[in-house]
Amino acid sequence: MKDALKKKGMFVKKLSNQGKLFRKRWEHEFASALSVSQKKKIYMEQFLWHAFSYEKLPCLQGEQADSSVRTANKERLLFVV
């Protein structure tokens, strides 16, 4: 994955021991409207994207999502893998 991102001209940096911090910030920014009960029902403790794949939060899909990433300010994108 790292090499594929670099080939696309992206800067890749490993941030050790930052997972919990990023997860908390992500939940605060995107999923604060969901209750603890809702999060449990969609197994959000396993994967954060379940908030979108279980359609609990709105999101772009398909070509709209691809287009949005292509036109986004690349200096402000963060991919967590």
d(CA 12, CA 10): 6
**Residues whose CB falls within 8 Å of the CB of residue 43, separated by 6 or more in sequence, listed in order:** 50
Per-residue pLDDT band for 6 (boundaries 50, 70, 90) equals: confident
Tell me the per-residue pLDDT of 20-72, one tens digit each, with 9 for 90 and over. Answer: 898 999 999 999 999 999 999 999 999 999 999 999 999 999 999 999 988 98
Torsion, Cα of 78, 80, 29, 23 (10° steps): -150
